[in-house]
Structure 1
């Protein structure tokens, strides 16, 4: 078969087909001239560190060959040998706590010992893990270490700004960190129905549901793919729970609308499919005077499972159609003023502009400015996404009482503006700050 050269535009189109939420404008900027690790810039020190790291990794590889039967066994207790190598990694990390690759390798060793089911109590045995029945306290301790190592690796290697450059080696390590955490979350979501989560109460994962594990796994797979892991990029699409939500909505609508008139039911299902699959803004639907879509009920009981505090959604009708918003306060049953399910949301009316290194600091600050809005939106006019946004800076600032006085609303918008601009300049939640 003859080879074919694809342009950058062709590659972007293919990526968009595989993942409709991909954004070519936020591709990672790789610069081989940068240090391979941003926290060890001295070349001689870095060479000494990676040499010692390679020795430990090589010992693990030799042990794996013996376990696979490809080399004669030289150790009687492979688990103890593995723990000894893990102890060497522990000591090495204490010496170089800001070297992300070491933490990434320690997570890989812990996954080999305890498996990707390390977060679950009484998980079924698998041939991939060396310790089949660990003590609960031991598993909980190492689960905390693994999750903290991944969090630290991501924090150490993530660029400070959206358009910050990084070395290819740093991008590869960051991609592996995201992919490893995604694998743990994905396995936990699959086996969670029959097993309890076994992590320390201080960890956010201790309070997660199966859906939240699925969302986190899809998010991490997406970032793993963004930083160069093609397998993670493919898994991000297949594990996206938003697709499952659309399927649930269609099934719910079929139950309610597939009634006496077969033709009428099929037409409404077709309209719903077009709304979900083709027109992300939902402009084809016309709400009646009660604020309900004529294409039929989209299954509010299904939607409510997704419309929680911090969920990112897209407005599908009205002045702000197509704008991304974050849910601040959901009101499932409505209230006296608004007798229908709705949510208090904050969104971006004017998005920040692209900046480059050559721009002055004053111009960069001006182009980083955001114009927000705060609004009550009917549940029928919100399309949930798989993304979430932390709302620590907005708790208690914006509520339904905000709309009673104009001055309160303006003060709330100023607070929202400050929080969103801080998030944008820190490089967090990048998808939220790019228009559709």
Structure 2
């Protein structure tokens, strides 16, 4: 019954995507970010919903009469160059061709979806709708996981949807901390008290869910993002009290078993999982040094034979770091492109804040830019300890910041007074 209901919802939505491509972009984001089909138990879970949605949206772009052109800004250009770069490194990868090209295909599909979405982010309303979609897709697990954590006393771990990028509890925890600031942006922009109250409750529940994952990286990301959240909030005293109260309540609520697990962060030298990460980071660095232009290719660190070639004695495994895994897989050039996407998004956010600070009609962009900065800090801090370097949500957020910057810059130019024309001699 659940599968039939899901299919019944998807069919008309796909029809709308063919007529209005931006609906398709939102639908693709929902499928890609949330993997709702993984909540099904039957035939619907195995159908290629993301691919179908992408193709239908492309069809809509071909037949719909609306502006659609990929904006050539720093984020989109760097994403295109990154795609070309990982293609080049895949041609000379050390891992087996089957594994490499399967991973390459997955990343290319993500890039295509993000770039298609970027081409359709032409208005403030569309950017706002996209942020709502991110909040709904990830907030579903935050609200559900937070309730589960409270009801079980924090004893059991919160997990993500199976067979998805968020299946790993560490990945899920970071994703939840990324979405909390975006929920706050929506709260700040919402006119109705019920919506604002609901979003505030969802934020608290999502923090509970992130901590309920029992991920040590989530605790690090929570502390880092909570500090930046306070710095980027409007009322420092009020927001400081609220942030401190929420974090204290969550940490106090968790059981002793959680506390004991978190204490291992201080003694990481004697903790097997932490030292395993440090060792594989060393191997990733050695591979990058030996092959600075290409790295080892996709999933090089997962092969014991490859790891032994450059760092003998270190067990092969996932690098569990967005920084070291990208560097080891693709070398310094592609790593710079990947890092450049984040840097470009942050640069746009800083410029938006500067341009929109004193413009009431641009307050939406000001709030979005500041909260996106908090989200990126959560991603960077949490991602230091997990393999989430090809995450479509973060790339989509960077594309949204670039689109917001374009709209803000255009609005500022239009509002600027026209320069006075020089008066010709004799016409005074």
For the aligned pair, the TM-score class normalised by the smaller chain equals 0.3 to 0.5
What TM-score does the superposition give when structure 1 sets the normalisation length? 0.32
Higher strand share: 1
Query: Which structure is higher in helix share?
Result: 2
Higher relative contact order (CA 8 A, sep 6+): 2
TM-score (normalizing by structure 2) = 0.32
